[in-house]
Amino acid sequence: MLQNSARWIGFIAMCLGMFMAILDIQIVVTSLPAISAALDIPNEQMSWVQTAYLIAEVIAIPLTGFLTRSFGLRGIFLISLSVFLLASVGCAYSYGFELLIIARTIQGFSGGCLIPLVFSAVFLLFPEKKQAMATTIAGGLAVLAPTIGPTVGGYITDTFDWSWLFLVNIVPGIAALAIAAMTVPREETRLSLLSRLDWAAVILLAVSLTCLEIGLKDGPSDGWTAIPVLVLLIASVLAAGGFIARSLAAATPVARLRLFADRNFAVACGLSFLFGIGLFASVYLMPVFLGLVRGHSPLEIGLTMLVTGAAQLATAPIAVQLERRIDPRLLSLIGFVGFAIGLGMSGFQTTATDFDEMFWPQIVRGVSIMFCLLPPTRLALGLLRAEDVPDGSALFNLMRNLGGAIGIALVDTILWQRAPHHASALGDRVLAKDPEAANFVGIPLDMVPSDGTALSPEMMSFVRPMFEKAGLVLAVNEAWLVIGGLTALGLVLLPAAYPMKPENTHPPGH
């Protein structure tokens, strides 16, 4: 009993470390203007504070399986969390842009290791009957962090100095480090594997993911056919091809890509990718709308978004009980149908939409989230051998992050390209005395010349912001509907998975 309790305490400490790594992304993004002003960072370079973290994180995730095999679960967690805390201090005390980017890169790499480590721990530390509860704790915290991030970031920015965005990690991080060191079981390390690390594959992986992240970042604003963007995306594909070829041929691969030969694992990774699109894009779209259309502060935005987190937490115990009794394919079906509907419900907003109108779409999404994460995790990792779980967890989590990066790039493309088009179309409709368009923009029809002539320059300067805001709302609505449709593609993947019953599940943990 004592040993079992220690494992749970150690696992919760690991979850705390992962939670901080994910939360750090959101609390920083809401406060980039404050950091930029403090360090005199040019506006065009400000986004690199976030991009450096995300690139390093996405490179680290697929390497975590190899590192776990080398250092053991406990060892690599303690190393990763220690480096993350040191890098957080480095970020807080950076006195210039270059130092901050270096510290953020280190922070992102170490934080990226923490995410798949926790999901590996679910299947390495616990027997099958305890894995549903462990997955719920880990998954709940993983998706709760982006939801409450804007609230925490807004509060810190409004109350303290910007450096506390990073220093807030230190006390809980040290506590998690100490608890995990005492309670997570020791494992035999195999440091000899490090001498067999395929550095060429690592470089190809880093080049591929870096080019992809930068290409996805620049594509919406520069245009997907711009030469620099095309070069980045082509380089990413070529490097990915080289990485896959080397990984499949290597005796000691950086990532065990052969796991995709298992049908359930492949389906679960596809579901993780689609869920990443919906989750990350929704967490991105809400602040865009509430900030640019409704004019809310970061703290007000965060408080509005807490509805999703509350619904998610309320559903978690139900998800645990159902996951023990029902085929994960059916639960995944319920989750993806609900999540797609919740995303689609937000596709009919107006310039006046606020907390009340956003309440029920958030409830539907929040209730569905655990069913989009818990059953697919079981499909992906539940039947893997113990030695394959770290690699499986790394690939499963990588797919969710890649989906998120592509989802945000897609949303940005819609907002950049469609908002001006919608604003222009609304202008034409209002000039044609369309009452529906005038009401949507918020312009009384008696302000429009009855003879069809253009508005005066003075009137145009007054109403132009109203048309731009209304055009943005329509573009945001399009984005909600598109990501809802993409998330619904999970229903196409699910029939390919084979049944998982308790009697054919062989848990790798004890």
pLDDT by position in tens, the chain (length 510):
446 788 999 999 999 999 999 888 878 877 777 788 888 887 667 778 888 898 999 999 999 999 998 999 999 999 999 999 999 999 999 988 899 999 999 999 999 999 899 989 998 898 888 888 888 898 888 888 887 887 888 788 778 888 998 999 999 999 999 999 999 988 888 888 888 888 999 999 999 999 999 999 889 888 899 999 999 999 999 999 999 999 998 878 888 999 999 999 999 999 999 999 999 899 889 988 998 899 888 788 888 988 998 998 899 889 888 887 888 999 999 999 999 999 999 999 999 999 999 999 999 999 999 999 989 999 999 888 888 999 999 999 999 999 999 999 999 899 988 999 999 999 888 888 888 988 898 888 777 776 556 666 666 677 788 999 999 999 999 999 999 999 999 999 999 998 876 444 444 443
pLDDT tens by residue, 320-340: 888 878 889 999 999 999 999
Over its C-alpha atoms, the chain yields an Rg (Å, rounded) of 24
CATH second-level architecture of 1-190?
Up-down Bundle (1.20)
Cα separation, 25 vs 153, in Å, equals 10
Residue 411: which of 487, 337, 464, 470 has the closest Cα?
Answer: 487
Cα separation, 366 vs 312, in Å, equals 4
Residue 329: which of 471, 452, 491, 466 has the closest Cα?
Answer: 491
User: What are the C-alpha distances in Å from 131 to residues 56, 118, 142, 223?
Assistant: 29, 12, 16, 45
Fold adopted by 261-510: Growth Hormone; Chain: A; (1.20.1250)
CB 113 within 8 A of CB 390: no
> Does the pTM of the predicted model rise above 0.75?
yes
pLDDT at 493: 95
pLDDT tens by residue, 208-233: 999 999 999 889 888 899 999 999 99
Intra-chain end-to-end CA distance of the chain, in Å: 13
pLDDT tens by residue, 45-73: 777 888 889 899 999 999 999 999 899 99
Residue 474: which of 347, 340, 286 has the closest Cα?
Answer: 347
pLDDT at 128: 81
CB 366 within 8 A of CB 417: no
pLDDT at 339: 98
Cα separation, 255 vs 59, in Å, equals 12
The pair phi, psi for residue 326, each rounded to 5°, is -120, 145
DSSP H or E segment with residue 78:
helix 48-92
Q: How many helices (H) and strands (E) does the chain have?
A: 17, 0
